[in-house]
Structure 1
Amino acid sequence: MYYPVPINYSASAKTAIVFTVFTTVLIIIGTILISLGIYKIIRENYVIPKINHYWLISLIYGIIIAIIGGMIHIAPSGFHYPHYVSFTYGLPMFVPNFMIYYSRIIGLYMYPLQLLSLVAVSLTGAAIMGISFKGIRSRKKSVASILGTVGVCPACAAGTLFGFVIGASPFLSSFYLNVLYGNTLDEVLISMLSLLLMFIFLLYVLKPYKIKTKIIRSAPLKN
């Protein structure tokens, strides 16, 4: 359904595009609804402190992660791709995608799963940073706050930076490429695990702001 057949390529390509786009949009809507549900649960259980310049921090953090994670390449060199390439059918959440490439200037490759991950990491990372700095100022969980300011990017583990760091070791590099990045499912699992670790750390730095409820039991009424 997601790939055209050679017998009638033109007609089946249109069907493949419809199935791919429909499934991708459905998954994105489901992901957003689940995220809003998680956010609502957090708001009901924690008094989230106000973070100054939150959206600006998210934007800057997102740009940094996009460069480190391999979405944006500064001054790329190598094979001269066309300036713009787009794919409209294939594996859901990996297509539709597009690539913008100007040799020695900038390269940009984006697909839905990568964009959703970037948004999730940017918003969560900015929250961790903001809450961490507030924790330092108010002396709430100062150790966790310091850790939060320097350890807010586990999602980079699935990106270019992690591959570059372990590239010094032939064994680790081979294990990373052949076992962890051997197929698309492993790549998705690594990304989701990174986001899960980041979410757990967010809950950890929010721990001092948890709403404490007490159950008050009234004495039985006497007739």
Structure 2
Amino acid sequence: MANDNQLNKEKQLKELGERIRAIRIRSGLTMEEFIKEIDGKDGKGRSGTVNNWETGKNSPNKKRLKKIAEIGNIPVNYLTTGKKEDNDRELKISVIKKYGNSPLTEKEKSSLYESSLESDIETMRDNNKNLLEAADFFKRDKLEKFNYDEITFSGAVSRFLATIEHQKKNSLLLPFKDLINKYIDYLDKKITLSEFQKSVDYFKNSIPNIDEK
């Protein structure tokens, strides 16, 4: 029972982190800019706090949760639990009927933002899956049988770069360039397969964990 509670808590933290990350990215803010917006003071050197929230290591306090919800234009309850209003279906229908013609109520606006946020989260999950799928190109079992194929390799590289560009994940560029260089060293027999695999593991660990849905 204790293990189930722990797993449930970890799942809730992870899903909260996804919502926080989606709000930050939609707002076009870096982690340091985001924490500055929340706390009202310089965010330099404090990106780790936001990263811990987004990766589900811990959660913001009540004051910060309220501010994040304001930034995302959603209720605090939806931010923390993912639960919607009981009449969410009616709200969505009302939004569709009124959108572009009549002013929306605050609850209708929240319903609209919640739906949009869910869409953003699904997109992030898909993009992260694409990154991990492309990273599988470098798996040990494939490399042991591998005949160098420039088209296949350039395709994998292109998928990485396209997803990095789409998500503005510039922090992945340096470890990815290092991975490519190590791969070339492996092909040139300058390093062993085991040494190269360490670089693969390092790169894959820099990609955020995602739900296996």
Higher relative contact order (CA 8 A, sep 6+): 1
What is the TM-score with the length of structure 2 in the denominator? 0.24
Structure label with greater radius of gyration = 1
Q: Larger % of strand: which?
A: 1
